[in-house]
Every structure is written in C-alpha cells, then in structure tokens.
Structure 1
Amino acid sequence: MGEGGDIRVTALRRGEGLAAWRQIADGLEAEIRTGALAAGAQLPTEAALAARFGVNRHTVRRALAVLAERGLVRATQGRGTFVEAPRLAYPIGPRTRFSEIVSRAGREAWGDLIASAEVAAEAEIAADLGLPPGAPVLDLLTLHRADGTPISTARTCLPLPRFAGFDRAYAALGSITRAYAAFGVSDYTRLSTRIGARLAAAEEAARLDLAPGRVLISLASVNADAAGTRIQATRGLFVADRVELVVEG
C-alpha cells in the first residue's frame, strides 16, 4: 500500500446497504489492527485510495475522517495521513518526566518551544507557585512529541528572576528536566495533579495534528524543587487517543 508500484484493486460490496465510505473505513481499520498498516506508516494518497476502491476522492476523504475520529490515523498538513502509534502509558506520580516516560517506551522524546513571555501571574498561577498575584513569571507555550507525533501541549509558568532565560535553555535542550539541570535544579517532585477533559479548540487541534473537536485530557500540575520551593505551574493538554494516564500511588 505504498506510494510506488502497482495499485491494488479492492472491490466493494454493492447493493447491500452499506455505504462505500464505511466499507473503506472498516477495511483500512482491519489492516491497521492486523499490522498490515503499521504504526507510523503513511497511507497512500486520496487519489491512490480512490483508484484502489473505485470511488471518488470525496468518499475516500469521508472514510479517512472516520478513521481520524476513531483515533486510528492523523492527517498532517502538507505531509499526508499516518497511522497512529499505540497509546503511550503515561504514569502520573511523584516524579513525572515526559522525556523519561517516552524513552522507556522505546520512542524518541522532544519538546518544542512555541512561544515565551515574561508576564504578571494571574491569581490561580500565583497561588500554585506560592506567589502574590501579579508577581513576574516566565510563561512558556510548548509542544511535546514522541517519535515526531504530538502527544501534548502545555502552558508552563516559572517564577522570575530565578528562571530568567529558561526559555532559551528549553528551546536548545528540548526537555524541561534538562533545562532545569542547566539552572542547577537536579531534582524536582510533583506536588499535585488535577485531571479533567474537554474538546480541542481549533488552534489546539492544529498544533496537535488532530481533527477539530477531538477529546483532550487536561492536567493542571505543580512541581517543587528538592528544598520544597514551588518552581513550576503547568496547564497541559494530552491527546486522549495517544496516551493512557496511569495514576501511581
């Protein structure tokens, strides 16, 4: 089912009351479930799939949309459609480290800095960090990937002036843990995590390579350094179809 070579023809069942797009979606799902289409594999183009099934591209597009809603594929702007990897088990415990969790699963972890700014902390963030409202914090917007697939996006706030320049360290190192080490923080622990869920807004869906309206898991967390000083308040959004949260005792 690659881009090259002869196009395999798959006959659809006609006159049985089952829509062509559903037959295509079910057939491709079966190939994903059996491993004929492996995790991370790129699907053929809409034109190639239309030729394979003897339908128009609109029918193929609807079938792919259904697979995206099922969490089986993701469409990436300008690159094509890819098979989603199995869900990543993501433990939530005293030492929650994205890079370590992803690496233990045999996948490559990286974080992208989307934006950063020095801002006055609003009341909720200030309370999480044990600061007075309006205290200066460094506000980071980040995107976290496993083998290039977006897993989560987050807004992270750190107290200033202690972490002035942390955004540059994160951009260079691709990891909160490695950036902390550059600031002399060798260890930190999770004080609290609040878990919720909501639908992805259009901007979030685009950032995470999602169909709009897909479910996101929301995590509001607070971390402290080895001395117990609060150093990080994060509002994270995880793609529900790509992670399985495991709350550790």
Structure 2
Amino acid sequence: MADARDIPVTPSEPPLRRGEGLAAWRQIADALAGEIGSGALPAGGQLPTEAALAKRFGVNRHTVRRALASLAERGLVRATQGRGTFVEQAPLAYPIGPRTRFSETVTRAGREAWGDLLGARVLAADAETAEALGLAPGAAVVEMLTRHRADDTPLSTARTSLPLPRFAAFDAAYARLGSITRAFGAFGVDDYTRLSTRVGARAASAEEAARLDIAPGRPLLTVTSVNVDGRGQRIQATQSLFSADRVELILE
C-alpha cells in the first residue's frame, strides 16, 4: 500500500496570490489550517511530506517549512523528528482527584499509555522537596525526569522525587514498567492517594518544548502534587508540565 505521505495532493484552493503583500508561507499555513478545521486533514493524521507540499503549492521547501512552523506555533500540528508532521488530536480529558492515574486515564480514552525515563539521580532534598515529602532538609531522594505519552504523542513531562532508602532503584523499575503505578506495585505499594495538588500555567522553555514536541512558548499547565501510601506516609512529590493544547485538566 502506498504511503499516504507520498500520495499527490490536489489543491482545493486557487493558486497562491503573488504580489498582494501576503507572504506565500502564510497563505500555505492558512490553507492547511482550513483543511484541518474542516476535517480534510483529520486529527492524528500525518501531513504530506515537505516535498509533496512544495510541489502542490509551487514553492520551495523552506517556504513550506515556515508554514508548518507557523501551524506548530498555533498548536495545530506536531513535528516529530524522523517521522513527519501530524495534526494534533482533540485535548484529552484528564481528571485530577484522590486517585490520579495517567495510564488508566489514557487507556480509558482508547489510547496506549507509556512513560519514558529521561534521566535519574540521587541527591539531597532541597527545602521545598523535603517539606513536600516530610523529610529533613538534605535527606537523600531519588529524582526522575520523565515524559508521558498517549500513543506516540507526549502529553506531559515531570520531575518526581521519592524518599530513600525505601525507593532505591525505583527509576530502574519505572524504566522497565513505563508506569508510576506499576513501579509502586513492584515496591509493595498497591494503592496511593493524592494529598495535595496545585495547578498553574506558564510558557514552555526551549528544553521543555523539545521534550513535548511543541513549539517553544506554547502554553503549559503546571501541576505540583504530593501522594501518600495507604498508611498516610508521603511517598512522591511531583512537578508535572502538561501541554495545554493536548489535555483538559478536570479537578474532581
């Protein structure tokens, strides 16, 4: 079967207007945005290649690249290194309540959930982390940097701290299992609940944008939380960053 990216695209609009003061890349972006809005380019679908779009609109690939960057800045498409450009899907409803579970939320939406371990280290807890976990300042914790995906789309990235020695090698369990809940289960924590949640918003830095496959400056929803085990002991302090274009937080 032919790859959809290589199928010639027949223009549905008049040729680009030249000499009217409207840049070619903007006309291309507006045309593609219209097709996304109408469903001609469906949510989750892959756009034609830069070469195919350049042929369609009669421009060079640099002009197409500028148009796609504009769509990414508007939150309409997502460019993935080595795979192409995809239409963003509708925001995922993400409830935050006493038992917030990323994997369960994503699975209920009919999508595949997975967490990537991007890095881990053992360090002395700063004052904020120590207070969140009920530890003395300087106590040892394991800190993980993670990214959480629905299918292949990153929804959030987080820094999570857990007390030591109780959760020594938790990062290895997480890397293997792809889920905080499953990793806790490997450490005998069969249930845990949310003690506190704070929600805010800000713009994505270049580093955060790269982790989430979004344009720098796109809005992020910030969620700072603390979880406790069945005995009420504090086991997890997390600072999560959600792409505001991809999730709708619901406070329960």
Which residue of the other structure, out of 93, 108, 115, is the alignment partner of 2:112? 108
Which secondary structure state, in structure 1, belongs to the residue aligned with residue 138 of structure 2? coil
Matches within 5 A, 1:31-110: 31-110=35-114
Q: Which amino acid aligns with 2:182?
A: R
TM-superposed CA distance for 1:78, in Å, is: 2.2
Residue 246 (structure 2) pairs with residue 205 (structure 1)? no
Residue 131 (structure 2) pairs with residue 134 (structure 1)? no
Q: TM-score, normalised by structure 1?
A: 0.94
Could you list the runs of 4 or more consecutive aligned residues of structure 1 that deviate by over 3 angstroms after TM superposition?
A: 13-19
Residue 246 (structure 2) pairs with residue 237 (structure 1)? no
Residue 5 (structure 2) pairs with residue 3 (structure 1)? yes
Residue 25 (structure 2) pairs with residue 21 (structure 1)? yes
TM-superposed CA distance for 1:48, in Å, is: 1.3
- Aligned partners of 2:6 and 2:52 also within 8 Å: no
> Following the alignment from structure 1 to structure 2, what is the Cα–Cα distance between the partners of residues 180 and 88?
25
Which secondary structure state, in structure 1, belongs to the residue aligned with residue 6 of structure 2? coil
Which secondary structure state, in structure 1, belongs to the residue aligned with residue 78 of structure 2? strand
Tell me what 2:181 maps to.
Answer: 177
- Aligned partners of 2:6 and 2:48 also within 8 Å: no
Which secondary structure state, in structure 2, belongs to the residue aligned with residue 168 of structure 1? helix
Which secondary structure state, in structure 2, belongs to the residue aligned with residue 67 of structure 1? helix
- Aligned partners of 2:145 and 2:160 also within 8 Å: yes
Q: CA offsets per residue over residues 27-57 of structure 1, 9 Å max, x none?
A: 2112222222122222112221111011222
Residue 210 (structure 2) pairs with residue 224 (structure 1)? no
Which secondary structure state, in structure 2, belongs to the residue aligned with residue 41 of structure 1? coil
Q: Which amino acid aligns with 1:4?
A: D
Structure 1 residues 58 and 4: CA distance shift in structure 2, 3 A:
closer
Q: Which runs of 5+ in 2 are unaligned?
A: none
- Aligned partners of 2:6 and 2:49 also within 8 Å: no
TM-superposed CA distance for 1:65, in Å, is: 1.4
> Does 82-91 or 8-17 show the bigger shift?
8-17
> Does 187-196 or 52-61 show the bigger shift?
52-61
Q: CA offsets per residue over residues 143-195 of structure 1, 9 Å max, x none?
A: 10001111111000011111112111111110000111111111111111111
Query: Identity over the aligned pairs, expressed in percent?
Result: 73
Q: CA offsets per residue over residues 76-102 of structure 1, 9 Å max, x none?
A: 122221111111111111111110111
Tell me what 1:144 maps to.
Answer: 148
Which secondary structure state, in structure 1, belongs to the residue aligned with residue 4 of structure 2? coil
Q: Which amino acid aligns with 1:30?
A: G
TM-superposed CA distance for 1:197, in Å, is: 1.5
Q: Which runs of 5+ in 1 are unaligned?
A: none
> Following the alignment from structure 2 to structure 1, what is the Cα–Cα distance between the partners of residues 139 and 230?
22
Q: Which amino acid aligns with 2:8?
A: D
Q: Which amino acid aligns with 2:32?
A: L
> Does 11-20 or 134-143 show the bigger shift?
11-20
Which secondary structure state, in structure 2, belongs to the residue aligned with residue 100 of structure 1? helix
TM-superposed CA distance for 1:24, in Å, is: 1.5
Q: CA offsets per residue over residues 172-222 of structure 1, 9 Å max, x none?
A: 110000111111111111111111122212211111111122221111100
Which residue of the other structure, out of 192, 199, 204, is the alignment partner of 1:188? 192
- Aligned partners of 2:77 and 2:88 also within 8 Å: yes
TM-superposed CA distance for 1:244, in Å, is: 0.8
Q: CA offsets per residue over residues 214-235 of structure 1, 9 Å max, x none?
A: 2211111000011111100001
Q: Which amino acid aligns with 2:122?
A: E
- Aligned partners of 2:75 and 2:214 also within 8 Å: no
Which secondary structure state, in structure 1, belongs to the residue aligned with residue 69 of structure 2? helix
